[in-house]
Amino acid sequence: MNKRWIDTNTFHYSEFSDLHRLVDEKQRKNLTISLCLPTLNEEKTIAKEILIMKSELMTRYPILDEIVVVDSGSTDKTREIARAYGADVYEASEIFPHLEKFIGKGENLWKALHITKGDIIVYLDADIKNIHHRFAYALLGPLILFDHIKYVKAFYDRPIAIGKSKIRPTGGGRVTELVVRPLFSLFFPDLAQIIQPLSGEYAGYREIFEQIPFPIGYGVETSMILDIYEKWGLDVIAQVDLDRRIHRNRDTKALGRMAFAILQTFIERKIKLGLVNYKEKLFDEMIQFNLVKGEYKPDIYKIEDHERPPIIEIPEYCNKFKRG
Amino acid sequence: MSDYLEKLPGFVDTIKSIKETVITNIVLIGQTPAPTFKEKQRTSIFMERLAEFQVDECTTDGYRNPIGIIKGTSESKPPIFVVAHLDTIFDKDVDHYYSIQENTIRGAGIIDNSVGVGVLASLPEIFRRLGLRFESDIVLAGVIQSLGKGNLRGIRHLLKTWTTPIRGAVCIEGAELGRLNYYADGMIRCEIDCNISPISGFEHKFKPNAILVINEVINQIMKLRLPQKPRSRVIIGKTSGGFKHGVIAYDASLGFEIQSNSDKMVKSIFNSIKDIVEGTSHEYEVDLTLNTLSNIHAARLQFNHPLVKSAVNVMKKLDLTPVSGPSESELSIFLSRNIPSITLGITRGDNHHQPNARVEIDPIFTGIAQIIGVIMAIDNGVCDE
């Protein structure tokens, strides 16, 4: 394991709190930066994220050039509220309308590459209760200040919200510790140094994101790390401590489905890289059981492993961004 | 004087143009828990935000009240204070994270007093946007230990140790927009605790029930004949007690306030309640104690005081209808020191002291314009007469 990495490429958000410095460097390097918020029914939190980012990182410090919401077809007021607070709002299904339609976070992140204009793209989950502008500027700090860093991942304490108005101080990260870290330790020990590989907050240069495939579902974070590591190595990756992130608590079954999708992506990658010789087709259904009136009844979820190709392979994208 | 009045309606749109910054301040400060006596974290955030907006001085006084000072153009004019209390009634483990919709913000403590404190922190930027400079220094004070057992200690200490004269003051509360408080009732805030020994034995066979004892005290307080003049009342505000449904309560407590526009009457009612407590304690053979948590003297400006008249004009110019009533907040401490002062509300809201309290966003900008109008009036000398 490359033990040096965790020392040299791990930062704390406070190292980037001098926002004047970030603005100066951004302008000197002539960079544009887009913030993308993928959404599905996030009416409770979306306004706060847009407001705080707009106030602190657009109005007061010109760090972000645009805030873009890519929505998976919310049935609540997410899109309406996001528009009211000044974000550019797109429905994922309207971007590349001629392509087969999928619903998933990865789909939104991939399509965001086409409709954003930034050299750097910051992706933040839209359900962060304790949103603060450090979530964006801390991810941008290493990318703006250090030329060799191309992709930055967040990590934090993870208190969880319990009930309507209480929070529990510790918890969360179960899929990371029970699934992802053991897998990384077994196959890619270097990557086990990434404290929260599944965090939904990361930023990177367009030139990186456009060259990697995006699974449409939960596997997107894992695949992103694996692909960037395989293509460019560990040193282009950095991680930043954002201190604290309050998130919704998911039940064990939901986490089980998440783990399924991550394993699915991981194994597909291993096969693709020739690291595992597995001839059979993997099944794509997660089978869980519920006890109903004394009987165990199966709940079967189909979790397909659709994946978008590197967007640089899409002609409209190449035309728009003058690639190839 | 009417010059600045004419500008006020136009101010609303300019203030609205930095809506994101005002709401960000409200949210970032309000999401930091600050139960009374534990305001340290919110104090830091408040100071951080003031420093971000580049006030001329940013410090804390000896009691750790955070203060920002915007220097005025005159060396000789006394400062104008703008004050909002930092503490809330919610414990740290209550979810303080706010939810924002198209025209509302919802969450614990948003009305009392995150909106007030967030607006206070936004004032330096708002003054800059409006191109306003004042003759007086503007002292922006987020005072601690205001509510309940805090007994307004923060503001008491701040004013006690402020050695130079103060020109006038505006106290900011989250709601309701349109309130105009210029007098404070005399008030004594008390708690009665009833404790019954849980020791069993022959002599304790028929134990009294602490809840019923407190109930008897309430009944006797209700029987007191309170005068309409001087206007007086007893507010029964809090009760607690007991362990479980099937067990006699060994302890119970009652929180209440005596309010009157006459200090003499407050004292007289207090003495009557003291007699009730002593009598009940004796008759029921229980340990019944009466503790005073807070004591405020009645003080007021007259309705025809220039500050009150100016505030009414400012509010009318902004199409607000002034509604007056007594206030037992920071206002009373300013008035008791003969500093002309009023309390104003910023916006409209509901579920005031609930975890799901809610405020409207749109009226906030009118509420801020009103505060600025009153500061301009004070700076123009309405309190100097």
Angle ∠(A228,A229,A232) on CA atoms, nearest 5: 70
Which residues of chain A neighbour B20 with C-beta distances below 8 Å? 51-52, 54-55, 59, 85-86
DSSP secondary structure letters along A125-186: -S--TT--THHHHHHHHHHHH-TT--EEEEEEE--EEETTTEEESS---HHIIIIIHHHHHH
| Pair (B77, B127) in one structural domain | yes
Q: Is A83 on the interface with B (CB under 8 A)?
A: no
Residue type, B123: L
* Backbone dihedral angles phi then psi of residue A115, each to the nearest 5 degrees: -100, -10
Query: Nearest CB to B95: which of A55, A60, A165?
Result: A165
Q: Does residue B202 sit in the same domain as residue B240?
A: yes
pLDDT of residue B332: 93
**B97 closest CB neighbour out of A54, A60, A246:** A246
Residue of B118, B164, B133 lying closest to B71 (CA atoms): B133
A162 lies within 8 A of chain B by CB: no
Contact between B52 and B95 (Cβ < 8 Å): no
A168: closest chain B residue by CA: B93
Task: Report the number of distinct structural domains present in chain B.
Answer: 2
Tell which of B100, B104, B106, B358 to mutate to test the A interface (max A CBs under 10 Å).
B100
Considering only CB atoms, B100 lies closest to which of A51, A86, A246, namely A51
Chain centre distance of CA A283:
25
- For A113, the enclosing helix (H) or strand (E) is helix A105-115
Residue in the structure block whose two tokens are 């230990």: B145
Closest-CA distance of chain A to residue B42, Å: 15
B60-74 tens-digit pLDDT: 999 999 999 999 999
* Amino acid in the structure at residue B44: S
Q: Residue A52 and residue B94: Cβ atoms within 8 Å? A: no
Question: CA-to-CA distance for A250 and B191, rounded, in angstroms?
Answer: 43
Instruction: Determine, yes or no, domain membership for B325.
Output: yes
Which residues of chain B lie closer than 8 angstroms to A84, CB-CB? 102
Do B149 and B190 lie in one domain? The reply is no
**8 Å CB contact of B108 and A47:** no
pLDDT band at A245 (very low <50, low <70, confident <90, very high): confident
Domain presence at residue B384: no
Same domain, B201 and B240: yes
Residue B60 covered by a domain? yes
Q: Are residues B207 and B226 in the same domain?
A: yes
Residues from chain B contacting residue A77 (CB–CB below 8 Å): 101-102
Give the pLDDT score at A159. 58
The confidence score (pLDDT) of residue A168 equals: 52
- Please report, for the domain that includes residue B373, its CATH number: 3.40.630.10
Residues B76 and B205 reside in one and the same domain: no
* pLDDT surpassing 60 at residue A162: no
pLDDT at A166: 57
Residue listed under structure tokens 């143009």: B17
What separation in angstroms does the CA of B195 have from each of B128, B206, B217, B249? 57, 15, 14, 9
ipTM for the complex shown:
0.83
- Residue A57: closest CA among chain B residues belongs to which residue? B21
Query: How many CB atoms lie under 10 A from the CB of residue B71?
Result: 15
| Residue B282 shares a structural domain with residue B324 | no
Both tokens assigned to B189: 């805030």
The answer to whether residue A80 neighbours chain B at the CB level (below 8 Å) is yes
Burial grade of B242 (CB within 10 A; 0-12, 13-18, 19 or more): middle
User: Does residue B196 sit in the same domain as residue B255?
Assistant: yes
Domain boundary at B233, B262, B296, which?
B296
- 10 Å Cβ neighbour count for A90? 20
Low-confidence ranges of chain B (pLDDT < 50): 1
Which residues of chain B does A44 touch, with a Cβ-Cβ cutoff of 8 Å?
A: 99
Q: What is the pLDDT, as a whole number, of residue A171?
A: 43
Same domain for B64 and B168, yes or no, is yes
3-state SS of A223-254 is HHHHHHHHHHCHHHEEEEEEEECCEECCCHHH
Q: Do A81 and B93 touch (CB under 8 A)?
A: no
| Closest residue of chain A to B52, computed from CA coordinates | A60
Structure tokens at B309: 């008249």
Distance from the Cα of A299 to chain B's closest Cα (Å) equals 33
The CATH number for A4-249, chosen from 3.50.50.60, 3.90.550.10, 3.30.70.270, 3.20.80.10, is 3.90.550.10
Q: Please state whether beta strands B80-85 and B168-175 pair in parallel, antiparallel, or not at all (unpaired).
A: parallel
Interface test with B, best of A13, A46, A130, A244 (most B CBs within 10 A): A130
Residue of A nearest to B22 (CA): A55
pLDDT given for residue A170 in this prediction: 45
Q: Do B52 and B146 belong to one domain?
A: yes
Backbone phi and psi for residue B377, each to the nearest 5 degrees, phi listed first: -60, -45
pLDDT at A157: 76
Distance to chain A for B360, nearest Cα, Å: 14
B→A contacts (Cβ < 8 Å), by residue, are 18, 20-21, 23-24, 27-28, 31, 93-95, 97-102, 108, 355-356
pLDDT higher at B202 or A65:
A65
Question: For residue A217, what are the CA distances in angstroms to A187, A191, A258, A291?
Answer: 22, 21, 9, 28
For A115-132, the pLDDT digits (tens) are: 999 999 999 999 888 899
Q: Please give the mean pLDDT across all residues of chain A.
A: 91
List CB contacts (< 8 A) between A79 and chain B: none
Arithmetic mean of pLDDT, A69-91? 96
Q: Where do the domains of chain A lie? A: 4-249
Q: Do A132 and B28 touch (CB under 8 A)?
A: yes
Is residue B64 located within the same domain as residue B169? yes
pLDDT given for residue A284 in this prediction = 87
* All residues at 6 or more sequence positions from A169 whose CB lies less than 8 Å from its CB, including other chains: A159
Is residue B80 in some structural domain? yes
CB within 8 A of A310, min separation 6: which ones?
A210, A211, A212, A213
Give residue B321's domain range: 2-184+298-379
Interchain CB distance below 8 Å, B24 and A52: yes
Nearest residue in B to A52, CA atom: B24
End-to-end Cα spacing for chain B: 14
* Subunit contact B97:A164, Cβ cutoff 8 A: no
Structure confidence by residue, pLDDT tens digits, A271-323: 887 777 877 888 889 999 988 888 999 989 888 778 999 999 999 999 999 98
Local structure of B381: helix, strand or coil: coil
Chain B residues close to A246, C-beta within 8 Å: 97
Task: Measure the CA–CA gap between B368 and B344, rounded to whole angstroms.
Answer: 10
Interface list for A 85-144 with B (CB within 8 A): 85-86, 129-130, 132
Whole-number Å distance between alpha carbons of B334 and B146: 13
Q: Is B100 within 8 Å of A165 when comparing Cβ atoms? A: no
The reply to whether the predicted model has a pTM over 0.90 is no
Do residue B21 and residue A59 have CB atoms under 8 angstroms apart? yes
Could you tell me if B11 and B61 lie in one domain? yes
Last residue of a domain, one of B253, B277, B296: B296
Chain B positions touching A164 (Cβ under 8 A) are 95, 355
A55, A77, A161 ranked by CB distance to B20: nearest: A55
Residue contact A246–B94, C-beta within 8 A:
no
